[in-house]
Amino acid sequence: MIRTAYKSGITRASLSKRYLGNVSKLYYPEEVTGPVLVSENVPGPKTIELNKKLGEHFDNRATYFVTDYKNSLGNYISDCDGNKLLDVYAQISSIALGYNNPALIKTAQSEDMVNALVNRPALACFPSKEYGQILEEGILAAAPPGMTKVWTALSGSCANETAYKAALMYQASIKRGDNDFTAEELSSVMDNALPGTSDMVIMSFDKGFHGRLFGSLSTTRSKAIHKLDIPAFDWPKAPFPELKYPLSEFEAENRKEEERCLAEFERIIDQWPTQIAAFIVEPVQSEGGDNHASAFFFKGLREISKAKGVLMIVDEVQTGVGASGKFWAHEHWNLPTPPDMVTFSKKFQAAGFYFANPDLQPKQPFRQFNTWCGDPSKALLAKTIYQEVTHYGLVGRTAEIGDYVYGNLQSIFTKFPTQVKNLRGEKFGTFIAFEFNTANERNAFLVAARNKGLNIGGCGDQSVRMRPTLVFEREHADVFLQIVEDTLKQLYP
Amino acid sequence: MIRTAYKSGITRASLSKRYLGNVSKLYYPEEVTGPVLVSENVPGPKTIELNKKLGEHFDNRATYFVTDYKNSLGNYISDCDGNKLLDVYAQISSIALGYNNPALIKTAQSEDMVNALVNRPALACFPSKEYGQILEEGILAAAPPGMTKVWTALSGSCANETAYKAALMYQASIKRGDNDFTAEELSSVMDNALPGTSDMVIMSFDKGFHGRLFGSLSTTRSKAIHKLDIPAFDWPKAPFPELKYPLSEFEAENRKEEERCLAEFERIIDQWPTQIAAFIVEPVQSEGGDNHASAFFFKGLREISKAKGVLMIVDEVQTGVGASGKFWAHEHWNLPTPPDMVTFSKKFQAAGFYFANPDLQPKQPFRQFNTWCGDPSKALLAKTIYQEVTHYGLVGRTAEIGDYVYGNLQSIFTKFPTQVKNLRGEKFGTFIAFEFNTANERNAFLVAARNKGLNIGGCGDQSVRMRPTLVFEREHADVFLQIVEDTLKQLYP
C-alpha cells in the first residue's frame, strides 16, 4: 500500500510491510551476541583517565563512559576500556539504526555528503540544487499525515523555538489583517516593549520537556535543575494527567483525571490574561518521567484548541521515528484534524518542524530566518534513515518487539511487586519505562545494570526508560530481559 | 614563534607566518579567472524553476539563487544555470577556505568523519575517545589568548544563549555562596516565577545582532523585522557609538562619542533595577550595519564591567576566524584582561563559547546540558580549518589583502563622492563595508553587481558588506574592484 500524502506527488511508503529475516543480523553479522565485560566496573580505568583529561577543557561531569564508537556495532556500544554493553539508551534516544550502520556509512561516504559538509550553505539564501529533492525523498516523505511543508533547524530546542515563532507571527498576522506594521510597533520592538514585542504566550504541560534555550526552557517543566537561575517568560502551565498503570486496568479512573485536565486546559485558555498563541505537548512526557495519556486526552486537546484558535504543536523530538510502534507517536491518536505543527530531531539527526498551513510561513521573508536554516548533511542522514526504516518495515517490527518486551517485563516484575512499579508503554513499541520507589533505588539499578553490560537511562525522579534502536531484535530483547531480572535479583535478593 | 597559551600544553601556532606563494592557486589550480555569465540575468531561468519547486515545501522567498555547489570552486560560486560569480559573501561569512577545498574534502572523506556522522554522540554523557584530542588540536588550539575551556553548541544563537546561561548561573552561584537551592527556589522555578527563576538580565547594544532564538533575540537590536511579534525579555540596551568614518580623520569627535556611550553603559549598570549578569558585544556590529568602535571603547567596556562584576561576552560569530586580520577580532583591542567568554560559529562550522574561569561551569552537572552538546563532525571541520589557516598564514595574508582592497575602494569612491560614503574596515582585514544614501540605492547596487558576476551582501539599512573567504587573493581583489567600479559607473553614469 502506498499512501499518497501530498498533492505534489510525494508518497509515503507503507509502514506496515515487514522484512521477514533478522535485520540486525543482516546489517551486523559480526555483532556480539551478548555483553563483553573487560574491566572490573563500568566506567573502567581508561574511561577515568581519558575523562579526566577531557575535563581540563570540557565539562565532563555527566560522562557515563568514554566511548569507542569505532568499536561499537549494531546494538552494542563499546567503551574505551573495551567493554561492550547492550545499549538501550542509544545516545538519549538518538541512534535509529544501530552503531556503524552500513547504509549510513555508505551515505556518509557519498559525494553528496562530502559536498554538503565542505560547502555548508546558508540554505534560505543559497539553497543547493539538491536540497529540494533531498527533502522530498527523506524528511518530507516521512511527514506525518496531513503535513506538506517543513522548516529545518539544528536541534530539538531550536525546532521547538522556531515553531513557537511561526505560531506567534501567525497569530499576530491574523490580528493585524491586511494592515502593515504600525510606527509604534516598529519602534517599541527595538526596546523589547509592547506593542511591537508580543505579550502572547506559549502554553505547555506540567512535567513537559521541550529544550533548554530561553524560549524552549520557558515551556520546559520537567525538573527544577533544568530551570534554576535562568530567566523565563511568564507563560501558562496546564496539568498533565497523572494516570494509573497499566492503563487498561484503570480506564474509568484515568478518564476522570483526563477530563479534569482537559477542563483545566480549557479554563486556562479562557482566563489567561493574554492570548495563547499555541500549546506544545509530547505524546509521552519523556524527560519528565515517561508519563502517558490516552488518545481521548489528545483528541480533547485538539478539539478544544481548534475551537479556541490556539495552535497545537506536537513535540516528537523523542517519540518520533518509529520507537512507539508508529512512525510518529501521535498517529496512535487518530486525531480528527492534524496538529498544526510537529517538531522532530534526535533519531532523524536533522531537526525542524512539519506543517501544512502555508500561512505559518510569515508573509514577509527573512522573519523565520537564520544563517544556516538547517544542515543538508543531516538531511541526507535523515533520508537514509527514513528509507531504511520503510524498506525493512522497522516500525512494525519495533511494535512487535515492544509487545514482547512489555509482556516479559510484566512477568519479571511480578517477582518484585514492592520494588518495581508502574510499567509503561503497553502497545507503544519499545518506548517502555518502569519505576522504583526512590531516586536512589533507581540510580542503584542503573549502575548495577551497567556493570552487567546493559546501558540504560533514567527519566523523571525515579524512572528507568528504555530507548533502543529500531533494529533491536528478539535476541537483544532476551539479553535485556535477562540482565534486568539478574540486576533486580542482585539488588533485592 | 609558538605562543604557549595553556598549562595543559596546548599551543597556539604562530599567526604571523605566511606562505609566500598564491594559496588560492595551490588549492584551486582550476579556479576560473573571472566571472562566467551564462544566463541573461542572475537569477537565471533554472534557478527560477528549481526555486519554485522548492517553495512547495520549504520557505524559498529569501533565495538569491539556487546553487550548484559541486560546480563551485575556490572563490567562485556557481548557480544552477551555470553562472559563476565571484563570491565575497561566502554563505553570510561562513566559508573560510573556499568552495570544495581539498583539505576539507580530505577531512570529509576520513574515517573519523564517517564515524562522527553515523555514530553521533550525546557528547556530555558518552563522549568519544577522540573528542578531547579533536578539540585540543582544533577549536582549543585556536582559543583566544587567556581562554582554556570550551563549551560546544550547534549555531551562533545557541552559542550565545548557552553563554548567557553560564553567566546567569555563575552570578546566581556567587550570590548563593555555599548555600543549597532553597525550597522556595525549587518550587517557584517550576512556575517560571521568582526566586527560582532569575530576574537578572543580559545587556546588549543598540543595533547589535546576536541571533534569533528567544534569549538571543532579546539581545538582538538590529532591525525591527527580526523582532516583531516575538515575546522578549525586558533587558537593557546600551548605546553603541555612532562614529564618523574614516576613523583616523575624526579621532577627537569619535572619542567624545565613545566617552558618552561608556558613561551611559556605566549608568545603566548602576541604575538598572535588577542585576546585570553579563553584557554581549560584537567587535563590529555586522548585521546591524558594520558599525565599528575603537580599542579605547572596548577597553573601557572591559574596565567598567570588571569593576562592576558584570561578565563580558564577545560575540565573534561573524568576526572570528581571521577575516579581521587577526584570528579573533577582539585581539585588535589589547584588552587589559581577557573577555569572560567569546562565542563562535560560522567560519568555524562548529559553534560554542570559550572561557577560562572554571566557575563558569555550574557546580552541578546536567545544568549546562542538552542531548548533543555540540557535534564532532563540525569539530573535525573546525580542526582542519584552523590547521590550514595557521599552516598558510591566512590571517596575515587577509590583513594584507584587506589593506589593498580598502585603499583601492577609497580611490574608486572619490569618483562617487555623493553616492557612496562611510567606507569602513581600515586595517581590519577584508571585513570591509560601505554605504549608499538609501536602501533602494544599496539594493540596486547588489542586483547590478550580481548581474556582473559579483555575489555580495547587504547589512544595516543601506550598507554593503564584503565577507570573502580567507583565500581571497590579489587577483580576486582586482576582479572585485573592477566590478564595483563598473557597477557604480553603470548606476551613476
B199 found inside a domain: yes
B267 found inside a domain: yes
User: What is the reported pLDDT for B17?
Assistant: 58
Asked whether the beta carbons of residue A101 and residue B117 sit closer than 8 angstroms, the reply is no
Distances (CA, A) of B460 to A152, B208, B288, B433, B465: 26, 10, 5, 10, 9
Give B242: exposed, middle or buried? Use CB within 10 Å, 0-12, 13-18, 19+. middle
Looking at CA atoms only, how far is residue A303 from chain B in angstroms? 26
Of the candidates A389, A406, A432, which is a domain's last residue? Answer: A389
User: What is the reported pLDDT for A459?
Assistant: 94
Nearest Cβ partner of A370 from B131, B135, B212?
B212
Q: What is the CATH number of the domain that holds B225?
A: 3.40.640.10
Same domain? For A65 and A199 the reply is: no
Same domain? For B206 and B295 the reply is: yes
Same domain? For B207 and B314 the reply is: yes
Which residues of chain B make contact with A186, given a CB cutoff of 8 A?
A: 224, 228
Neighbours of B318 (CB within 10 A): 30
Domain interval for residue B72: 18-37+68-104+393-491
Nearest Cβ partner of B115 from A69, A127, A169?
A69
Same domain? For A352 and A407 the reply is: no
Looking at CA atoms only, how far is residue B253 from chain A in angstroms? 27
Quote the CA–CA distance of B135 and B416 in Å, as a whole number: 48
Same domain? For A95 and A151 the reply is: no
Looking at CA atoms only, how far is residue B36 from chain A in angstroms? 18
For A359, the closest chain B residue by CA position comes to B59
Neighbours of B105 (CB within 10 A): 16
Asked whether the beta carbons of residue B67 and residue A212 sit closer than 8 angstroms, the reply is no
Nearest Cβ partner of A120 from B206, B349, B371?
B349
Chain pair A-B, CB pairs under 8 angstroms:
383
Quote the CA–CA distance of A100 and A50 in Å, as a whole number: 23
SS3 B308: helix
Q: What is the CATH number of the domain that holds A470?
A: 3.90.1150.10
Instruction: Examine the residue annotation and report whether B315 is marked as an active-site residue of this protein.
Output: yes
Residue A255 has pLDDT above 90, yes or no: yes
Note the pLDDT tens digit of each residue in A129-175.
999 999 999 999 999 999 999 999 999 999 999 999 999 999 999 99
SS3 A364: coil
Same domain? For B211 and B350 the reply is: yes
Same domain? For A325 and A260 the reply is: yes
Quote the DSSP letter at residue A23.
Answer: H
Of the candidates A389, A406, A440, which is a domain's last residue? Answer: A389
Which residues of chain A make contact with B136, given a CB cutoff of 8 A?
A: 57
Instruction: Examine the residue annotation and report whether B343 is marked as an active-site residue of this protein.
Output: no
* A16 pLDDT tier (thresholds 50, 70, 90): low
Residue A468 has pLDDT above 70, yes or no: yes
Of the candidates A347, A365, A389, which is a domain's last residue? Answer: A389
A114 found inside a domain: no
Asked whether the beta carbons of residue A158 and residue B105 sit closer than 8 angstroms, the reply is no
Quote the CA–CA distance of B264 and B206 in Å, as a whole number: 12
Give B82: exposed, middle or buried? Use CB within 10 Å, 0-12, 13-18, 19+. middle
**Site from A109, A370, A371, A375 to mutate, B interface, most B CB atoms within 10 angstroms:** A371
For A99, the closest chain B residue by CA position comes to B119
Quote the CA–CA distance of A76 and A69 in Å, as a whole number: 10
Residue A101 has pLDDT above 70, yes or no: yes
* A365 pLDDT tier (thresholds 50, 70, 90): confident
Overall average pLDDT of the A315-328 stretch: 97
Same domain? For A440 and A458 the reply is: yes
Asked whether the beta carbons of residue A126 and residue B172 sit closer than 8 angstroms, the reply is no
Q: Which residue type does B313 have?
A: I
**Site from A228, A276, A359 to mutate, B interface, most B CB atoms within 10 angstroms:** A228
A116 found inside a domain: no
Which residues of chain A make contact with B157, given a CB cutoff of 8 A?
A: 158, 213, 370
Same domain? For B214 and B268 the reply is: yes
A109 found inside a domain: no
Residues of chain B short of pLDDT 70, as ranges, are 1-20
SS3 B459: strand
Which of A271, A270, A309 has the alpha carbon at shortest distance from A175? A309
Q: At what angle do helices B376-391 and B394-413 cross, to 10 degrees?
A: 70
Asked whether the beta carbons of residue B371 and residue A91 sit closer than 8 angstroms, the reply is yes
Active site residues of A: 209, 315, 346, 371
Note the pLDDT tens digit of each residue in A102-142.
999 999 999 999 999 999 999 999 999 999 999 999 999 99
B88 found inside a domain: yes
Nearest Cβ partner of B65 from A120, A126, A366?
A126
Question: What is the number of domains present in chain B?
Answer: 2
Nearest Cβ partner of B229 from A59, A172, A232?
A172
Same domain? For A179 and A72 the reply is: no
Name the percent of chain A lying above pLDDT 70.
96
Same domain? For A158 and A287 the reply is: yes
Same domain? For A323 and A218 the reply is: yes
